[in-house]
Copies of this chain bind each other. A is one copy, B any other.
């Protein structure tokens, strides 16, 4: 089978413009020994693994509508092209008075796949954009389940074992309109991101870029998201963002992108190139060995724990920042102590 790069149907006009330059994510055949060298510490695009071949061979919007039509799925609706995830458990409400005051940037609704597809077909400029993000469970129907069973589990289970990952926690099915963007964030799991249909651009930043990425506080509904708008970075508030070093790639059907745990990723369905379908494979992190020097993602985890502990003891998210500021300002400045 021809790889995505050989029959490249896109050019730079399908990509959104940002003021950063990116290196290319390496792209390797599944049986190249360098794949395993890269995994765990770096992203890599793996070709020819046939991980989701049973899906790439058949899946498109019609197939999904036909076989998942009656099931109810999670669909996000956004007034613009950005789908910035938020954790509603962290929003202030009557039942959660200690939460953060927050107006969600998108709506989350449950709808039948047929309703979703109808909205896609009838969509016109000015309408809310749509992005389906649904967990693949037995409820998705027999045909989809059969395709799922036909994934190349042998290959991915071997990868899981080789890299000592924990268990597979979920497979999410993403069905996106062209041009949709999932803004830059990191996840706390290992991720094989398998492209089924259409083309997605993925921009990744290592956990060592934490200081350039400015994540929201852990207690904020946008926890794990960057506060920086990649399209219009506020260089006054986020001065180090301009130094962020990222890597990028466009993935197409059959490509599997390995997104290492704690790596930042921005995902965009290419513009004017039709809808996209992706399946991810999320794995728990392997057992951590505390070896020095610590890895950058371990430091991110330490910072997260401090923020969680502070919220727990202070009981008020508005007190976390002032306490941390008092601890740092004038005390832990760039210049070493005399």
Contacts and interface: CB of A to CB of B under 8 A. Distances in A.
Interface of A: 100, 210-211, 214-217, 220, 227, 237-240, 292, 294, 299, 302-303, 306-307, 309-310, 313-316, 318, 320-334, 336-337
A331 B239 contact: no
Contacts of A329: 211, 240, 328
Nearest to A301: B313
A214 B338 CA distance: 14
A69 to B, nearest CB: 40
B320 A307 contact: no
Given A210-B326, A211-B326, A292-B315, A320 B302 contact: no
Contacts of A292: 315-316
A323 B337 contact: no
B313 A302 contact: yes
Which of A303, A320, A325, A327 gathers the greatest number of chain B CB atoms within 10 Å? A327
Contacts of A307: 327
Nearest to A327: B303
Nearest 4 pairs of A and B residues by beta carbon: A321-B332, A211-B326, A214-B330, A328-B328
A29 to B, nearest CB: 38
Contacts of A310: 302, 306
Nearest to A214: B330
Given A294-B314, A314-B294, A302 B323 contact: yes
Nearest to A290: B313
Contacts of A316: 292
Given A326-B210, A330-B238, A330-B240, A337 B306 contact: no
A330 B237 contact: yes
B324 A332 contact: yes
B306 A327 contact: yes
Contacts of A313: 294, 302
Nearest to A102: B337
Given A237-B333, A321-B332, 13 more contacts: A210-B326, A215-B331, A216-B331, A217-B332, A292-B315, A299-B323, A303-B326, A303-B327, A306-B327, A320-B332, A324-B324, A327-B328, A328-B329
Contacts of A328: 321, 324-325, 327-329
Contacts of A309: 306
A318 B337 CA distance: 10
